[in-house]
Amino acid sequence: MPDFPARRLTMVDTQVRPSDVTKFPIISAMLTVPRERFVPGDLAEAAYAGENLPVAPGRVLLDPRIFAKMLDALNLKGDELVLDIAPGPGYSSAILARLTQAVVAVEADEALAREAETAHVDVGSSNILVVHADLAEGAPEHGPYDAVMIQGGIERFPETLTAQLKDDGRAVALFVEGGVHGTVRLGVKRGTVMHWRDLFNATAPVLEDFAQPRSFVF
């Protein structure tokens, strides 16, 4: 039987810490939450690999390095309300739940949303609300939020999500250009506008709800 706690330790020591992620709450959460519980059963052996793992068509569990560095950029203090977009089977929400006061997780795939709710019960996460809704719509009824995190590639950050952030609220997202090259950016809301800065390169499939509308060329 795989020694998953040992694999979690190896993941943190060889993937997370070397990526300059050293905040104790992040390290503790990633050592505690059983990542293997949040992947399809046939991928449990690969749960701690340093790569994006497919969890549904067009959907991935982000590479631990990417995910940890995105968490680090948000600089959560422990008392915030966080909006987690496209968490899939729920790993990201389970980690965020240990770093903040509460998490609202918006998942468009009903089957994944149900899986996430079950997994959160199994791992003892009681401060997560899973909302089955369109990803780009967020969950305005539960906001405003201190921070937003998106678990996949985007080509645009919609105004619907900007509106759900508090002033000075933060967002972290992986912007993908040309379908290949990606850059993780941290945004801060000032008034009604998001101000973004580049952090590091990464890649992930673009979430359909966050793709730029395609124009026809005649």
Separation in Å, CA 156 to CA 152, 198, 212: 12, 15, 6
Separation in Å, CA 44 to CA 18, 55, 139, 144: 24, 11, 31, 36
Domains along the sequence of the chain with CATH = 4-210 (3.40.50.150)
Tokens of 166: 């508090």
Q: Which of 147, 153, 149, 107 is CA-nearest to residue 131? A: 107
Burial of 33 (0-12, 13-18, 19+ CB in 10 A): buried
Tokens of 100: 């903040």
Q: Given a cut of 80, is residue 215 above it in pLDDT?
A: no
The Cα 35–Cα 137 span in angstroms is 27
The Cα 202–Cα 72 span in angstroms is 15
In which band, very low, low, confident or very high, does the pLDDT at 179 lie, cut at 50, 70 and 90? low
User: Which tens digits make up the pLDDT trace of 77-108?
Assistant: 999 999 999 999 999 999 999 999 999 999 99
In which band, very low, low, confident or very high, does the pLDDT at 26 lie, cut at 50, 70 and 90? very high
User: How confident is the model at residue 177, as a pLDDT?
Assistant: 86
Q: Given a cut of 70, is residue 218 above it in pLDDT?
A: no
- In contact, 49 and 62? CB cutoff 8 Å: no
